[in-house]
Amino acid sequence: MSDNSSDECDTQHVLYKNRPEWSDITPLKQNDGEHPVAAIDYTEEFEDCFDYFRAVVQKKEYSERTLELTKTAASLNPANYTVWQFRREILKALNKDLNEELEYIGKVILKQTKNYQVWHHRRIIVEWLQDPSKEKYLTEKSLSEDAKNYHAWQHRQWVIKTYNLYDGELEYVDQLLQDDVKNNSAWNQRYFVVNNTTGFTQETLNREIDYTLGKIRILMENESAWNYLRGLLLHDKGGLSRNEKVTDFCETFYEQGNRSPFLLALIVDICSEKITNNGGGDGNNVYTSARAKELCNALATQYDTIRAKYWLHISETIENQANEQNSMDESSTTN
Amino acid sequence: MCYEMNQLHLEASESTEIQNLYTSKFWACNFKKDKFLRSNIKMCALPNIEFERDLHRKYLNRFLHHSMPSFLANMDTNRTVLAYFCIAGLDILDDLDKISEERKQQMIDWVYQLQVCNAEELVSGFQGSTTLNTMDNNNQNSTYKWGHIATTYSSLLSLLILGDNLDRVDRKGIVQSLRSLQLEDGSFKGAKEGAENDMRFVFCAAAVSYILNDWSGIDVEKMVDFVLKSISYDGGIGQGPDLESHCGSTFCAVAALALSNNLEKLSKDQFHNLRRWLLYRLDTGFNGRPNKPSDTCYSFWTGGALKILNAYQFIESDDNPQFVLMTQDRYGGFSKWVNSVPDPMHTYFGLAGLSLMNYENLKPLFCELNCTKEVHDRLMTIHNQWS
């Protein structure tokens, strides 16, 4: 391939207007009107490159030299989606080796990891090649720099879902959570994998609950893990309140004096669910509206004071819920 | 959602003099102050930081009327979006009056110059910049001269804020083109070719339809379905199904539902969990995802979504403006984090976030569209004239 003149190692950039092989093209100036807004003081290199870009786009010239030009244009502004679009059309027209393109865009991505256009280009090339074999490695490399990079995760999910590459993903997620138990992206990926493979069967649910409780034990103040636990309980027939493993866990830590706001919030929600489901009617039920009220107060005044107004609102809502339930129960007994 | 402009600044190799105009190199180098701010960030008793209204006005005007330094060339295709952040920010500051009528008209004409009316190829809308425009193809359709859904949205708002009545907008053409951008799953792609699809563009499609008062370009039922399928196990909403909840995408989803009158499609539980997830984003300032640091722009993305869901009052506090104020630059503008580099996007969202906190007489917002109430009122008057 001859289109490597704008690679990062090439420091001697020759302006297109000074290149003999471009002398047949009349560059086209940008027309920004008489009174531009949010104008940019382009460098000479930028202006020169895009003057030729405008000219060859109008001509729809698909050639080695225009392929090279798009590389320069993309290095000057990787967010220009038209440049990538034009580049793809050239690649197709010239029937280029897409493996080389994959290698090139991989390098660009690792320098521009938070740019929508470069990841999109990668995705299209993978689709054209129907070869997803290098994608996990690329995203892992990117995630090793920033383990929460949304673009990398989005690409990874797409490739896993499209080409059924779930094998080994749970182990990868586990590794990331060992590195950082607060990595919310990794927790999300865990849910994605389980949901799209085994689903939340009772067996999986038990395994995942054990796993999550283990992680919460490491760090109680971890919203991501508590959220995942709640996500699991969405699939538990008993809802939030009937999984003894979870309720025992909560009560043990509460009795030991733990006051993580996430722990208290879950107990509040368990109370709320119990009240709605059975009016708090069974004899040894500890999940009463009185307890919810007490915990909401504790959250509001001590453990989660920035959301004080919210917890007082929740307390009120639960009280109303309980009153409604009581009057319903009473009316059913009188009848 | 962020344009990661900080990175652009830092990577730039411009002359220090120019760069200092746009960034806070001085502040960044002032180690003592940095240490002081960092040690105070978790405390409530913060130094009383004065809101530099005048500097913000100057900062935003500088981007609008003067050439930006070349290291911002990465923003070249998003100039209308940048312009929108500056114009909308000045509106919140109630400082647009200080721009002459003549200049306002020039700005309106510049935006209209980017309008594409191309019903044949279904690419009507607004371009993000004049990058592809030459003297030859002026006001003519040509290769890749396509509207983009995000720049169409921000251009329409800029026109409205500047006082234009949208008389010259090709409403029918834009709505028809919108239809070709919706995908089978209900989401939208940004442009005819070469653009990804996600919740950002769902919001843009809904906002454009709302502004043009014409929903025939959207299969709303499919759109709502996409939004509901993107609700995550934790109650928040991602850029699409299976993706991690994020305040940017959550705002987009909630606003799209609100603008299309579909908030009631959220079940009671979904509504409750969504509000809870958003309220949990309040930390020192607002973060965009669990266990991520606070960032100025989420004071709007999160705050705006909470407003729409009628839950903002649960976290109202006199302390809330502090984080945003700490990201204020000494030369004007706001940045993502304390002690980093300002940019127009974070400046706009900083101001918008402060407006939600009823701070300093900043103009109140109509969050669903991301403009002031005043602009929305004027849009309603325009709608009346259309009908």
ipTM of the predicted structure?
0.94
**CB within 8 Å of A256: residues ≥ 6 apart:** none
Specify whether the CB–CB gap between A109 and A103 falls below 8 A.
no
A96, A128, A158 - which closes a domain: A96
d(CA A160, CA A136) in angstroms, rounded, equals: 8
Residue A90, pLDDT score: 98
**CB within 8 Å of A166: residues ≥ 6 apart:** A160, A193, A196, A197
Residues 222-281 of A with CB under 8 A from B: 222-224, 227-228, 230-231, 234
Has residue B23 been placed in a domain? no
Has residue A29 been placed in a domain? yes
Has residue B22 been placed in a domain? no
Which amino acid is located at A126 in the chain?
V
Domain enclosing residue B102, as ranges:
50-66+74-386
d(CA A82, CA B200) in angstroms, rounded, equals: 19
pLDDT higher than threshold 50 for residue B148: yes
Of A29, A30, A231, the CB nearest to B233: A231
Residue whose pair of structure tokens reads 């329409």 in the numeric block: B156
Has residue B2 been placed in a domain? no
pLDDT higher than threshold 90 for residue B234: yes
Q: Does B19 lie at the interface with A, CB-CB under 8 angstroms? A: no
CATH code of the domain in which B376 resides: 1.50.10.20
The number of domains in chain B is 1
Retrieve residue B99's tokens.
């721009």
Specify whether the CB–CB gap between A261 and A300 falls below 8 A.
no
Angle at A83 between CA A78 and CA A89, to 5 degrees: 135
pLDDT higher than threshold 90 for residue B3: no
Q: Does A9 lie at the interface with B, CB-CB under 8 angstroms? A: no
Neighbours of B284 (CB within 10 A): 16
Has residue A177 been placed in a domain? no
A50/B131 touch (CB, cutoff 8 Å), yes or no: yes
Residues 329-368 of B with CB under 8 A from A: none
Q: Does B291 lie at the interface with A, CB-CB under 8 angstroms? A: yes
Residue A254, pLDDT score: 97
The single-letter DSSP state of residue A260 is -
d(CA A89, CA A189) in angstroms, rounded, equals: 34
Kindly compute the dihedral angle of the four CA atoms of residues A176, A177, A181, A183, in this order, to the nearest 10 degrees.
50
Q: Does A57 lie at the interface with B, CB-CB under 8 angstroms? A: yes
Burial class (CB in 10 A: 0-12, 13-18, 19+), A29: middle
Has residue A200 been placed in a domain? no
d(CA A158, CA B356) in angstroms, rounded, equals: 36
Residue A237, pLDDT score: 87
* Across A155-159, B22-26, B77-81, B315-319, least confident range: B22-26
- CA-to-CA separations, B280 to A226, B317, B322, in angstroms, rounded: 12, 15, 18
Residue A333, pLDDT score: 67
Has residue B3 been placed in a domain? no
Q: Of A70, A78, A5, nearest to B11 (Cα)?
A: A78
Residue A283, pLDDT score: 55
Residue B41, pLDDT score: 47
User: Residues, chain B, total?
Assistant: 387
Has residue A211 been placed in a domain? no
A42, A71, A96 - which closes a domain: A96
Residue A276, pLDDT score: 84
Residue A330, pLDDT score: 78
Q: Does A26 lie at the interface with B, CB-CB under 8 angstroms? A: no
Residue A161, pLDDT score: 98
* Average pLDDT of the residues of chain B: 89
A62, A79, A96 - which closes a domain: A96
d(CA B175, CA A94) in angstroms, rounded, equals: 36
- CA-to-CA separations, B40 to B4, B47, B372, in angstroms, rounded: 26, 9, 33
Beta bridge partners of B365: B372
Domain enclosing residue A11, as ranges:
1-96
- The pLDDT confidence band at residue B35, using thresholds 50, 70 and 90, is very low
Has residue A78 been placed in a domain? yes
Q: What are phi and psi of B345, to 5 degrees?
A: -65, -50
pLDDT higher than threshold 50 for residue B12: no
Angle at B232 between CA B297 and CA B216, to 5 degrees: 75
Which amino acid is located at B218 in the chain?
I
Specify whether the CB–CB gap between B174 and B181 falls below 8 A.
no
- CA-to-CA separations, B62 to A320, B57, B99, B110, B370, in angstroms, rounded: 55, 9, 12, 17, 22
What are the residue ranges of helices labelled H in A197-239?
202-218, 223-233
Specify whether the CB–CB gap between B302 and B251 falls below 8 A.
yes
Per-residue pLDDT tens digits for B47-106? 678 999 999 999 999 999 999 999 999 999 999 999 999 999 999 999 999 999 999 999
d(CA B6, CA B336) in angstroms, rounded, equals: 8
Has residue B252 been placed in a domain? yes
Of B72, B110, B132, the CB nearest to A40: B72
B315/A58 touch (CB, cutoff 8 Å), yes or no: no
The number of domains in chain A is 2
pLDDT higher than threshold 80 for residue B270: yes
Residue B303: its H or E element = helix B298-308
Can you say whether the dihedral through the CA atoms of A259, A265, A268, A274 is positive or negative?
negative
Has residue A327 been placed in a domain? yes
Show pLDDT as tens, one digit a residue, over chain A (335 residues).
444 444 444 568 999 999 999 999 999 999 999 999 999 999 999 999 999 999 999 999 999 999 999 999 999 999 999 999 999 999 999 999 999 999 999 999 999 999 999 999 999 999 999 999 999 999 999 999 999 999 999 999 999 999 999 999 999 999 999 999 999 999 999 999 999 999 999 999 999 999 999 999 999 999 999 999 999 999 998 888 889 999 999 999 999 999 999 999 999 999 999 988 865 455 568 999 999 999 999 999 999 999 999 999 999 999 998 998 888 877 776 65
Retrieve residue A93's tokens.
């027209």
The residue among B37 and A24 whose pLDDT is bigger is A24
A79/B78 touch (CB, cutoff 8 Å), yes or no: yes
Catalytic residues of A: 114
Burial class (CB in 10 A: 0-12, 13-18, 19+), B23: buried
Specify whether the CB–CB gap between B346 and B326 falls below 8 A.
no
- The pLDDT confidence band at residue B23, using thresholds 50, 70 and 90, is very low
Q: Of B201, B74, B198, B106, nearest to B147 (Cα)?
A: B201
Residues of chain B with pLDDT > 70, as a percent, come to 88
- On chain B, the residues whose CB falls within 8 A of the CB of A224 are 290-291
Q: What is the separation, in whole angstroms, between the first and last Cα of chain B?
A: 35
